[in-house]
């Protein structure tokens, strides 16, 4: 039933929006936003579920990923003006790889230095990760400067497709495609590989995984680094969507990411995916229909979901 929420909300909004072309535009925008939120949130939900770590520093991986991508893209701006997909890709692929690598390395550092000493202590986790977020935001100012960096999109993903009377931004279509690819890759990894099996088992009962002879701490590091890398990818996509980067951009979306993780059920990647789509769609529909409600719509959604399912849409049966 929870799976049906996305099409139900989308279809229910159609008579409220009134115009089909506007509805199509809003729906694609909502799905694109949802996919980008999913990329940023999926790592956090696994870290929550597997490691029981409240990581309030997750936003810094998003920001660092965005800055990493921006650094590459600004140096390769010549390639992006050629109006050729191949030329754009020679700039975008290294930019995305840089975002993932930079955020992943920072994630490894966080896990080793800040989080490992506070496993099992939620209060200290909140304090140290909040502190880490603030310190690294300031370090971003030191490395990249305090000003907002404008980030023009590559030529081939600028502008819109026109479908009948509906205008659909090319970049949003790209975000949907990348989001679906990331979800498919994560689904295959989690459901078709032994490492995925270990991660799913570890989310439920890490102690039993250890009792079966597996070193869960190594898995922790791998998941933390992968989750940080995904946040970096999401940050790069989000920065190109916003067409700018700033040090606080991760912290600004952190509340929305936590809402998605809670709605989906802690530790559930599928739940995170559905939760992100719901948040993205609702933000766009309410932004159009009742702009004053847009800010609170996601919190209202979370309250309603938790009243219906207190452990989220797809709860993991933790031991």
Partner 1 sequence: MPEPMLSLAGVNTHIAQYHILHGVDLEVPRGSLTMLLGRNGAGKTTCLRTIMGLWRASAGSLRIDGQDTTRVPTPEVAQLGVAYVPENMGIFAGLTVRENVLLAARAGEPDAKRLEWIFGLFPAMQKFWSSVAGNLSGGQKQMLAVARAIVEPRKLLLVDEPTKGLAPAIIANMVEAFRELKRTDTTLLVVEQNFNFARSLGDRVAVMDSGRIVHTGRMDALAADAGLQTKLLGLSLDTHQ
Residues in contact with partner 1 by CB under 8 A are: 194, 197-198, 200-201, 204-205, 207-216, 316-317, 319
Nearer to partner 1, 166 or 274 (CB): 274
Smallest distance from partner 1 to CB 212, Å: 5
Nearer to partner 1, 227 or 267 (CB): 267
Nearer to partner 1, 15 or 317 (CB): 317
Smallest distance from partner 1 to CB 206, Å: 10
User: How distant, in Å, are the alpha carbons of 125, 197, 201, 269 from that of 285?
Assistant: 36, 37, 37, 24
Nearer to partner 1, 209 or 282 (CB): 209
Smallest distance from partner 1 to CB 213, Å: 3
User: How distant, in Å, are the alpha carbons of 56, 67, 126, 164, 229 from that of 48?
Assistant: 11, 25, 12, 44, 16
Nearer to partner 1, 287 or 315 (CB): 315
3-state helix/strand/coil string of 52-106: CCCCCCHHHHHHHHHHHHHHHHHHCHHHHCCCCHHHHHHHHHHHHHHHHHHHHHH
Smallest distance from partner 1 to CB 309, Å: 16
Nearer to partner 1, 123 or 211 (CB): 211
Smallest distance from partner 1 to CB 195, Å: 11
Distance of alpha carbon 79 from alpha carbon 127, whole angstroms: 43
Is 224 strand, coil or helix?
helix
Task: Give the DSSP letter of residue 152.
Answer: P
Nearer to partner 1, 269 or 278 (CB): 269
Contact 253, 59 (CB under 8 A): yes
Smallest distance from partner 1 to CB 198, Å: 7
> How many residues comprise the chain?
319
Nearer to partner 1, 102 or 316 (CB): 316
Task: Give the DSSP letter of residue 215.
Answer: -
Give the contacts of 286 (CB within 8 A, at least 6 positions apart).
293, 294, 297
Distance of alpha carbon 73 from alpha carbon 84, whole angstroms: 15
Q: Which of 295, 312, 308 is nearest to 41 (CA)?
A: 312
- Beta-bridge partner residues of 169: 160
Nearer to partner 1, 112 or 215 (CB): 215
Smallest distance from partner 1 to CB 205, Å: 6
β-pairing verdict for 149-150 and 166-169: unpaired
Neighbouring C-beta atoms of residue 89, cutoff 10 Å: 14
Is 244 strand, coil or helix?
strand
Smallest distance from partner 1 to CB 208, Å: 4
Smallest distance from partner 1 to CB 197, Å: 6
């Amino acid at each position: 039933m929870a799976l049906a929420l996305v099409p139900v909300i989308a279809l229910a909004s159609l008579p409220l929006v009134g115009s089909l072309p506007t509805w199509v535009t809003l729906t694609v925008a909502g799905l694109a936003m949802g996919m980008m939120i999913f990329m940023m949130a999926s790592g956090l939900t696994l870290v929550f579920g597997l490691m029981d770590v409240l990581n309030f520093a997750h936003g810094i991986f998003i920001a660092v990923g965005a800055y990493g991508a921006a650094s590459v893209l600004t140096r390769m701006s010549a390639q992006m003006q050629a109006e050729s997909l191949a030329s754009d890709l020679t700039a975008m692929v290294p930019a995305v790889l840089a975002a993932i690598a930079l955020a992943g390395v920072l994630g490894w550092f966080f896990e080793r230095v800040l989080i490992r000493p506070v496993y099992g202590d939620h209060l200290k986790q909140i304090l140290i990760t909040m502190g880490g977020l603030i310190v690294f935001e300031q370090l971003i100012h030191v490395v990249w400067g305090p000003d907002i960096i404008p980030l023009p999109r590559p030529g081939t993903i600028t502008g819109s497709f026109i479908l009948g009377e509906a205008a659909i931004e090319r970049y949003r279509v790209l975000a949907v495609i990348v989001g679906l690819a990331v979800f498919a890759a994560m689904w295959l990894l989690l459901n078709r590989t032994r490492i995925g099996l270990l991660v799913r088992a570890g989310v439920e009962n890490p102690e039993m995984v250890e009792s079966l002879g597996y070193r869960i701490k190594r898995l922790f590091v791998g998941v933390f680094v992968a989750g940080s890398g995904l946040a970096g990818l999401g940050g790069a996509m989000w920065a190109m969507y916003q067409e700018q980067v700033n040090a606080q951009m991760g912290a600004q979306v952190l509340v929305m990411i936590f809402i998605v993780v809670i709605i989906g059920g802690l530790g559930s990647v599928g739940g995170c995916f559905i939760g992100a789509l719901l948040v993205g769609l609702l933000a766009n529909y309410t932004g159009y229909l009742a702009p004053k409600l847009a800010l609170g719509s996601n919190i209202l959604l979370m309250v309603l979901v938790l009243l219906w399912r207190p452990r989220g849409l797809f709860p993991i049966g933790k031991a």
